[in-house]
Amino acid sequence: MTTTAIEVRGVDKYFGRFQALDKLDLTVPTGQVAGFLGPNGSGKSTTIRVLLGLIRADAGSVRLLGGDPWKDAVTLHRRLAYVPGDVTLWPNLTGGQAIDLLGRLRGGLDPARKKDLLSRFELDPTKKARTYSKGNRQKVALVAALASDAELLVLDEPTSGLDPLMEAVFTECVLEARARGRTVLLSSHILSEVEKLCDTVTIIRKGRAVESGTLADLRHLTRSTVRATVSGDARALEGSEGVHNLRVDGDTVAFDVDDTHMDAALRTLTGLGVRSLVSNPPSLEELFMRHYGDELAALNGNGGAAA
Amino acid sequence: MSAFTGTGTLVRFILRRDRVRLTVWVLALAGTVFATVPTLNDMFSTEAQRQARAAIMDTPTGVVFGGPGYGLDDYRLGPMVVNELTMSVLIALAVMSILHVVRHTRAEEETGRAELLRAAVLGRGAQVTAALVTVSLVNLLIGGLTALALAGNGLEAADSVAYGLGLALAGISFGALTAVCAQVTEHGRGAAGLAFLVLGVLFMARVVGDMAEEGGTWPSWLSPFAWVQQTRVFHDLRWWPLLPYAVLIAALFALTYALAGRRDLGAGLVASRPGPAGAGRLLNGTFALHLHQQRGSVLAWSAATFLFALSFGSLATEVEGLLTENPDLVAMLGEQGANPVEGFLGVMSGYVLMAATAYAVLSVLRTRTEETSGRAELTLSAAVGQVRWFGNALLVSVLSSTLIVVLGGVGMGLSAAAALEDSSWVGTMTGAALAQLPVALLFAALAALLVGAAPRLIPLVWAWLGYSLLVSMLGPVLGLDEWLLNLSAFDLLPKLPGEEFELLPVALALAAVVAANALALAGFRRRDLATV
């Protein structure tokens, strides 16, 4: 058994003149849940289609479960299950028929688990697919994927049509899959979902991975937010190295600090007589905003960085 | 707010949205009329030529695609236009009207676009009214241009107007009929299918009525296909046969609104029922999946072709009867070296072939829809190779078009055998239909090649198919050169039983089919799947 389920190195993909992937790197260790983050149009689905051997990379190397996804597509696909971001089904098949069919095309599915998933996702399998809403079509693909015994689950924005209750069911199901030793690639732009589920995260922008590692690694590289109530004059922190965005309001102070300078900042702070202190690690949202902040700023029409 | 609020806006919106589509229909149909009228004049310039042509129009095939035969004894330009052109133009107008109305009523509801519009300030009846108004406008425009073309070539003005108006009213009748069908079924495809079925029945009613005696009998009067010609334009004009159109259109409009008032947006009068909670044992692979997707269409096309073939085969006795009454005709057809019954059935099995070809192409092109809709992506993400998925789709297309051809041949053979009391017709006609099958397979293989290797060129298949249909139906009338006629695929292979079977062209066609399909599979394996 390989220890990396997915290994993408320097992959380029062009559609005509448009470059969808630009020397993309992506590694997913076996048995982990890997988050794949990026806004719409950043190349997430293109990467997944390359991984599934549906389109061919123009340059670079791709290994999936130890094989070449383009050449060995059929044998590799017996070992994986895929949920597309926008599920379209056969209008005249019922949900239950589509689930069984997909299971059979993959080489089998566990009927007991299918039954369990249908009730947890509250999906009526006797309805024709044309009558399903987007969320219900997504449930069909999710049940088919989760009821299979695939080693690798490739999920492309799987919760975009689900309500919060169903999102919670989905979260449980992914955690159970990991507990069974499955590998999961979860593409998403919902940060809280990735934060809850993923061991590692890759952030992609314009077809290029701009950040990747464990959540802890990523946080280490960055800033935390500190909020404190002090007796002394907090302006003493002004100009300290690594302190950003200092706001003083009476005896309350809030600032962001680079994790490498946290120690020095706290020493200064304790010298001022701390009465209360809250320090938050950066949320994934903040990490994300740092990479996309300039786009956001441009949208908001102000020049300042968002983080 | 009345039920019709917003109709005017929608009418303009439809005209804007379909400006290319509708312009093409108008130019193609009016253009055919403009081109044909002078050609007819040139081709049949002497009295003798015209009467020879009239004799052909008096044959069974002539009645099927000509009409009740008014004015054949004095075959001048006017009667020629009416006998040679009416059925083709009427069928084209009916097809245009059916597609247009389905597109702007049921198909809109199905996609959910109607919901978006209905939520705005729009009356309940506005969408169907706008569809009917636009279909009427387009039909009247084509009818008006036709009247102009005829009057411009020196024909009587009143008759020209009656003829153009009759064509337009017939087209509008089919639009109104489709509006009713669109209320009944939940899906655009179903509504169009139902409308086409009624079209076929009405066409056959006219054929049966007109075949019985010159001028038509009661079954003709049941059909909007007949009323235009019953005005006896350019022969002995009478206006009142246009009245049934007005009555029919008014009745269908009223029925549409009554039915529309009884149902919810998006629902049909025939509700959909829950289906099985799991897949049966047979639905276990891509071949089964493709077949399952198409079984309704295959059944409908097979049944329609079989019934068409049965009804035309049964006309074989009428053909014989006409010949015993008209020894001159026997002499004329005899000179062409063909048994007239064989000739008639050979021409009719050409129409079976056209149906099978159209289905084969539609069946292959479904793979493209599967691909662009994202369903192919889901299927191919399972343990299914591109070659197997695409190859099975091609196999389903070959098998279903073969089934249609065989049923057409058997149907024609059975009823001809019953009518002529000679059972050997079953084998003869089945063989005749099968001998033409490679043409259908050739079109399907071309469609496959384009899907596999050059999806952007797919419209080429339709262009060639459309050209071939036009040429094989109107070619002689259009006065085209021999080489242009030969570009029609339907004339590639000999038409049995009137003509002799030849091995070489059939073998060449089959070799081309195999090669094109192999290239199609290789191309599909090599290229990227289309992304949504």
Q: Are residues B327 and B246 in the same domain?
A: no
Structure confidence at residue B346 (pLDDT):
85
Q: Are residues B106 and B151 in the same domain?
A: yes
In a domain, B448, yes or no: yes
**How far is the alpha carbon of A260 from chain B, nearest alpha carbon, in Å?**
44
Q: Of B270, B293, B326, which residue sits at a domain end?
A: B270
Q: Which of B378, B456, B525, B527 to mutate to test the interface with A (most CBs of A within 10 A)?
A: B378
| Sheet architecture: strand order including A152-156 | A80-83, A152-156, A183-188, A33-37, A200-205, A208-214
Structure confidence at residue B117 (pLDDT):
79
Structure confidence at residue B389 (pLDDT):
97
Q: Are residues B457 and B520 in the same domain?
A: yes
Q: Between residues 23 and 52 of chain A, which touch chain B (CB distance below 8 Å)?
A: 45-46, 49, 52
Contacts of A94 in chain B (CB under 8 A): 274-277
Q: Does B382 touch chain A (CB under 8 A)?
A: yes
Q: Does B274 touch chain A (CB under 8 A)?
A: yes
- Tell me the C-alpha to C-alpha distance, in Å, between residue A182 and each of A18, A29, B367: 35, 10, 33
Helix H, strand E, coil C: the string for B172-226 is: HHHHHHHHHHHHHCCCHHHHHHHHHHHHHHHHHHHHHHHHHCCCCCHHHHCCHHH
Total domains present in chain B: 2
Measured at the CA of B78, the angle between CA B76 and CA B84, to 5 degrees, comes to 95
* ipTM over cut 0.85: no
Q: Does A123 touch chain B (CB under 8 A)?
A: no
Q: Of B270, B301, B336, which residue sits at a domain end?
A: B270
Give the mean pLDDT per block of 10 residues along chain A (307 residues): 84 93 94 90 92 94 94 93 92 92 91 95 91 91 94 93 92 94 91 86 89 78 82 84 86 86 88 88 71 58 39
Which own/partner contact pairs does B149-153 have at CB distance under 8 Å and 24+ positions apart? B149/B30, B149/B33, B149/B34, B149/B37, B150/B33, B150/B37, B150/B78, B150/B81, B153/B37, B153/B38, B153/B41, B153/B77
Q: Does B377 touch chain A (CB under 8 A)?
A: yes
In a domain, B389, yes or no: yes
At residue B327, the 3 state secondary structure works out as: helix
Q: Are residues B361 and B494 in the same domain?
A: yes
Q: Which two tokens stand for residue B449?
A: 């090649």
Q: Which residue of B has its CA nearest to A76?
A: B383
Which residue's entry shows tokens 């297309």? B397
Q: Are residues B238 and B290 in the same domain?
A: no
Structure confidence at residue A294 (pLDDT):
58
Beta strands in B158-197 (DSSP E): none
Q: Are residues B114 and B252 in the same domain?
A: yes
Phi-psi map region of B337: left, alpha, beta (phi>0 left; psi -120 to 50 alpha)? left
Q: Which residue of A has its CA nearest to B187?
A: A130
**How far is the alpha carbon of B362 from chain A, nearest alpha carbon, in Å?**
17
CA atoms within 13 A on the CB side of B284: 6
Structure confidence at residue B336 (pLDDT):
47
CB–CB contact B274 A56 (8 Å): no
Structure confidence at residue B111 (pLDDT):
74
In a domain, B364, yes or no: yes
Count of other CB atoms within 10 angstroms of residue A18: 8
Q: Does A125 touch chain B (CB under 8 A)?
A: yes
Q: Does B282 touch chain A (CB under 8 A)?
A: no
CB–CB contact B378 A127 (8 Å): no
Q: Are residues B186 and B330 in the same domain?
A: no
Q: Are residues B228 and B332 in the same domain?
A: no
Closest to A109 measured CA to CA, from A72, A78, A63: A78
Q: Which of A97, A117, A157 to mutate to test the interface with B (most CBs of B within 10 A)?
A: A97
pLDDT tens digit at each of 532 positions of chain B: 577 888 899 999 999 999 998 999 999 899 889 988 888 888 788 888 888 788 778 777 778 888 888 888 888 889 988 998 899 899 999 999 999 999 999 888 877 777 777 777 778 888 899 999 999 999 999 999 999 999 999 899 999 999 999 999 999 999 999 999 998 877 777 788 889 889 988 998 998 888 888 888 898 999 999 999 999 999 889 999 999 999 999 999 999 998 887 877 767 666 667 888 888 888 889 999 999 999 888 998 999 899 889 888 887 777 776 666 666 555 555 444 457 788 888 888 888 999 999 999 999 999 998 999 899 999 999 999 999 999 999 999 999 999 999 999 999 999 999 988 899 999 999 999 999 999 999 999 999 999 999 999 998 998 899 888 888 877 666 667 778 888 888 888 888 887 788 899 999 999 999 999 999 999 999 999 987 6
At residue A199, the 3 state secondary structure works out as: coil
In a domain, B528, yes or no: yes
CB–CB contact B380 A107 (8 Å): no
Name all domains of chain A by residue range, CATH numbers in brackets: 4-218 (3.40.50.300), 223-281 (3.30.70.120)
Separation of alpha carbons B73 and B69, rounded Å:
9
Q: Are residues B254 and B290 in the same domain?
A: no
What sign does the CA torsion over B27, B29, B30, B34 have?
positive
Separation of alpha carbons A52 and A49, rounded Å:
5
Q: Which of A68, A71, A74, A117 to mutate to test the interface with B (most CBs of B within 10 A)?
A: A74
Q: Which residues contact A263 (CB under 8 A, 6 or more apart)?
A: none
Q: Of B227, B242, B270, which residue sits at a domain end?
A: B270
CB–CB contact A125 B278 (8 Å): yes
Facing B284 at nearest CB: one of A15, A104, A141 = A104
In a domain, B53, yes or no: no
Q: Are residues B266 and B288 in the same domain?
A: no
Contacts of A96 in chain B (CB under 8 A): 275-279
Structure confidence at residue B280 (pLDDT):
87
CB–CB contact B377 A54 (8 Å): yes
Contacts of A97 in chain B (CB under 8 A): 275-276, 278-279, 283
Q: Are residues B425 and B453 in the same domain?
A: yes
In a domain, B309, yes or no: yes
Closest to B259 measured CA to CA, from B105, B119, B107: B105
CB–CB contact B279 A125 (8 Å): no
Q: Is the N-terminal amide bond of B497 cis, ω within 30° of 0?
A: yes
In a domain, B45, yes or no: no
DSSP B67: -
Structure confidence at residue B364 (pLDDT):
96
Which residue's entry shows tokens 């009067």? B221
* Amino acid of residue B365: L
Separation of alpha carbons A153 and B27, rounded Å:
54
Structure confidence at residue A303 (pLDDT):
38
Task: Say how many residues make up chain A.
Answer: 307
Tell me the residue range of the domain where B32 lies.
1-39+89-270
Q: Are residues B462 and B333 in the same domain?
A: yes
Contacts of A131 in chain B (CB under 8 A): 272
CB–CB contact B285 A105 (8 Å): yes
Query: Phi and psi (nearest 5°) for A41?
Result: 80, 10
**R_g (Cα) of chain A, nearest Å:** 23
